[in-house]
Structure 1
Amino acid sequence: MQYVGRLLKLAISTEHISYYAGSKLLTLLYDLVRTNANLAVMAGYILNNLALDKRFKQQIRDKMDDILPSFENLLKDNSSVLHVLPSCISTMMNLCYDPNIRLKILNRNDMWKANVDLLVIHKDKLKEPVSIELVEACLGMLANLTYEPSQNMKEFSLPICKNCLELCSKFKHYKLIVQRAFTILGHILPHSIPTVDWFCENAGHELLLYCIKNEEELEENKKSALKGLAGCTQINDQARIFIVDHKGLGTLVKSIKSCDESVIGNAALCLGHCTQIPKVCAALTKTDIMKDLLVLARDGKRPQLQKNCAILIAKLAQGDTRHLEKLRELHGIEILHSCMNYIKTS
């Protein structure tokens, strides 16, 4: 206890971190969390302090392969002190801010499996406060890991999305859990065809559209849901038809006027995918969408946004001659030519 007390003082004053071998220190602390209830809280506090220190992260970059098994065992071991586990998972998320460490964590299959297994166990125990914290922490970690595509994301995308869909559907009163679950769906669905097929077969696209249309929903959740819906409509005709049949086009057109370029880009993607459904292009002639898209294609700050808008303009013009006439009237062909040249050189 006296030794750990000394470590706690040093963790608060991070200039002393170099006195200890970083990898051995982290391994020791993870073992303490597993085996000693009295020291678990103190060990968790030290872990969080260390993970926030930039020099410490640099020190352990090349030693993560020695450290990570201890953390993975911590997640797997039922004897661990549960109320400290969320703090330990937060520690690993803080370490992920270092790109080199994040890459090593991203490539560890056992890390993904341990997080998913822990999520599965505790999502069925949400009446217990510690399980709420653990599910929040696991989802936070998975949101971090799924931020960019990887081989492990492909492998675990289906079980992760199954759990996220259940959480968003059944546990709406757990705000942070739902927010993180939507974030993960937004990360995964644009990159996993098998997962999208399962997701839409189980009415996941309906949940996403409902979220986007719900005026009381958090904007962050709407943003993630729209990104996920763009992934669904890219490959799933059922999702496209549902949007058209349930007045989703108006919601997407409204999203084109958003101040958030990410929202605009994904709304344009969704609408572009929906143009494959008969009469969609004709229905959109009753809106000012062509004018809005031309402004965005010309003035948008992100090349990807400009590209998405330009593609939607082309699909609308091909789908209904009235859009083509409007495009010519607004000198849109010249604007498109100019912005496409810019996109190619960006």
Structure 2
Amino acid sequence: MPEIQKECLSLLCLYSQTEYGRTLLLKNLDLPNSLEKLTGLLNQLDMFGVNVLEIIANFTSAKRFKVAIRPYFKRVILHPFLNLLKNVPTRNLHLLPQAVSLLGSMAEDSSVCKEMSDCKELWNVCLFIMEEYKTKSSEYTDVLLALLGLMVNISFEQSSVIEETAADITDKCLVLLCSADGSIITRSAGLLSHILPQSTDAVNIAVNGGIVKILLKMLKVGGQKTLRYALKALATCAKNSQRAQEQVVQLDKKFKIFLKLLDLEDEMIVSLAALCLGHCVEIPGAATSLLSSDIVKVLLKHAGGDSKKTAVQQNAAIALGKLCTSE
């Protein structure tokens, strides 16, 4: 029987590799029943795992597949995949990044993405793997990277489930921000940039855990994506925590980091830098250190410029207004 199953999977795999083959399969298969049988084989990874994941990956490349699975996605795909992530034997860990990437591909559909972001079991599995990484980093690095990418994608929209788990996620991310792996740092910052605006408790945990110092360090050396993520997370902290504002002022006394960021061409970075600056100059005496700089000229340029993003003009104008009223 296993040999017959293996040959059938090989045939399905072959058919699903071409657009014509996928169209035929999607038209003629009882999709919910077929997927349920396919994902049911995930508990026999050694024998069927590679073929099952490849078939589902081939299906996922068809837009109509993502739409078709909406009504039964949670039952026939998400739950079996979560069981796989929780219970996979060490010898099969190499298959998990592909499994997580498949979920990420399906999350491109807004309905499926919403279902994932509202699934508490999914977030609990994510927390479980983040915890496993602490003691088994060499084995779980690829899995964690894929999972962080998925978490960033599904945390973009607000969710009550995310709000409930935000404190725990933040706690785990603070550890990951100290990783030696740059990709893990960037994705952890990206996750925090989405999570922190959804929970003041998470902001307090982050600030008390020393996130301001970590983010300021990232702002000195990070690439474009890292800068955006770090600034968004820092802006959220500065907006909701006076302690965060005070730490920024203490650690970057003359706002040299922000002055450099305001000079960049990336409008999102400029906008977020102005937003952070606007929050931090609310601290009494903070603006004094800027008196000898050309900050007024820089903010005036951005506030009155022809930026395509109105947020740049708005945030620069607000920062300028706070600066003028404070000194």
Q: CA deviation at 1:122?
A: 3.1
Q: What fraction of aligned residue pairs are identical, expressed as a percent? A: 28
One of 86, 107, 120 as aligned partner of 1:109: 120
Q: Does 1:7 align with 2:3?
A: no
Alignment of 1:195-210 (within 5 A): 195-210=202-217
One of 150, 161, 164 as aligned partner of 1:155: 164
AA matched with 2:8: Y
Over 3 Å counting, the alpha-carbon distance change for 1:258 and 1:319 in structure 2 is: same
The aligned residue for residue 21 of structure 1 is 30
1:12-64 C-alpha deviation (Å, 9 max, x unpaired): 12222312233333333322222241211121122222222111112212222
The aligned residue for residue 72 of structure 2 is 63
Moved over 6 A (4+): none
| Alpha-carbon distance in structure 1 between the residues aligned to 2:34 and 2:258 | 52
| Alpha-carbon distance in structure 1 between the residues aligned to 2:37 and 2:133 | 26
| Alpha-carbon distance in structure 2 between the residues aligned to 1:220 and 1:263 | 9
| Alpha-carbon distance in structure 2 between the residues aligned to 1:16 and 1:178 | 43
AA matched with 2:176: L
TM-score scaled by structure 1? 0.85
The aligned residue for residue 274 of structure 1 is 280
Q: CA deviation at 1:93?
A: 0.4
Over 3 Å counting, the alpha-carbon distance change for 1:58 and 1:17 in structure 2 is: farther
Gap runs ≥5 in structure 2: 1-5
Q: Does 1:295 align with 2:294?
A: no
Over 3 Å counting, the alpha-carbon distance change for 1:132 and 1:203 in structure 2 is: same
Count of aligned pairs = 314
The aligned residue for residue 249 of structure 2 is 244
Over 3 Å counting, the alpha-carbon distance change for 1:123 and 1:44 in structure 2 is: farther
Q: CA deviation at 1:79?
A: 4.8
Q: Is contact 1:167-1:177 (8 Å) kept?
A: yes
One of 299, 308, 322 as aligned partner of 2:315: 308
Q: Is contact 1:157-1:192 (8 Å) kept?
A: yes
Q: Is contact 2:174-2:209 (8 Å) kept?
A: no
The aligned residue for residue 55 of structure 2 is 46
Alignment of 1:180-191 (within 5 A): 180-191=187-198
AA matched with 1:17: L
Q: Is contact 1:182-1:221 (8 Å) kept?
A: yes
AA matched with 1:76: K
Q: Is contact 1:230-1:270 (8 Å) kept?
A: yes
Give the 3-state SS of the residue equivalent to 2:112 in structure 1: helix
AA matched with 1:32: L
Alignment of 1:70-81 (within 5 A): 70-79=80-89, 81=92
1:112-140 C-alpha deviation (Å, 9 max, x unpaired): 22222222223420122xx1111112211
One of 133, 137, 143 as aligned partner of 2:146: 137
Q: Which moved more, 1:204-213 or 1:282-291?
A: 282-291
The aligned residue for residue 212 of structure 1 is 219
Gap runs ≥5 in structure 1: 321-346
Q: Is contact 1:51-1:92 (8 Å) kept?
A: no
AA matched with 2:235: A
The aligned residue for residue 227 of structure 1 is 232
Q: CA deviation at 1:246?
A: 2.1
Q: Which moved more, 1:277-286 or 1:135-144?
A: 277-286
| Alpha-carbon distance in structure 1 between the residues aligned to 2:53 and 2:321 | 55
Q: Does 1:175 align with 2:182?
A: yes
Over 3 Å counting, the alpha-carbon distance change for 1:22 and 1:257 in structure 2 is: farther
| Alpha-carbon distance in structure 1 between the residues aligned to 2:36 and 2:81 | 8
| Alpha-carbon distance in structure 2 between the residues aligned to 1:279 and 1:146 | 37
Q: CA RMSD in A?
A: 1.9
Q: CA deviation at 1:255?
A: 1.0
Give the 3-state SS of the residue equivalent to 1:286 in structure 2: coil
